Amino acid sequence: MSGLMFHGQAVALNEEGFLVDPGIWNEELALALAQAEEGLEALTEEHWSVIRFIRGHFEEKQGAPMVRAVCKATGLRLQRIYELFPSGPAKGACKLAGLPKPDGCV
């Protein structure tokens, strides 16, 4: 287990950099994760539209949405999602939205 310094406090991350407690997520923390884990210095409105949709889906249904749903809700093309989040929808976008790591080959 590792940690991320956030407002002088260590936030627990699992070995792959996902929040140990998804419940503590907020948008400031998303930005800190983006900088520490994804190498993104700033998040654009496009990033936020993806992150907010994924977070909303998670809070409602407890899982990660299909990338199809992300594209539909945000109006972004699939290729754009991959450009926005270099580590991909799972290890990039879902991580910044504070989700646990999705199961499967990811």
Partner 1 sequence: MSTELEQKLDTLTDADYARGLEVFRGGLKEAEASYLNACVRCGLCAGGCHYHRTEPELENVPGRKLDHIASVFKAHFTTMGRLAPGLVGAKRFDRDMARAWVDAVFGRCTLCGRCSMNCTIGIPLPALFRAARRALGAMGLVPEDLQATVENSLQHGNNMAIEREEWVETVEWMEEELQADTGDPEARIPLDKQGARCLFTVNPREAKFFPLSLQASAKVFWAAGEDWTLASDGGWDLTNYALFTCEDDQAAAIVKNLTDAMTRLGCQVLVIGECGHGYQSARWMGPEWLKQRFPFPVVSILELMDGYLNEGRIHVDSARNQEPVTLHDPCNLVRHGGISEPQRRVLRRAVANLVEMAPHGVENYCCGGGGGQLAMSRYRNRRLAAGKKKADQIRATGAKVVAAPCHNCIDQLSELNKEYQLKVQIKTVAELVAAALIVPTHSEVLP
- Of the candidate spans 4-12, 21-29, 48-56, 67-75, the one that interacts with partner 1 by CB under 8 A turns out to be 67-75
State which of positions 17-46 bind partner 1 (CB under 8 A): 18
Give just the sign of the alpha carbon dihedral 91, 95, 101, 104: negative
Q: According to the binding rule CB under 8 A, does residue 55 interact with partner 1?
A: no
Q: Where are the alpha helices (DSSP H) in 13-93?
A: 27-37, 45-61, 67-74, 78-84, 88
DSSP structure string for 53-64: HHHHHHHHHSSP
Q: According to the binding rule CB under 8 A, does residue 67 interact with partner 1?
A: yes
Residues that bind partner 1 (CB under 8 A): 14-16, 18, 63-64, 66-69, 78, 86-91, 101-106
Residues recognised as catalytic = 105
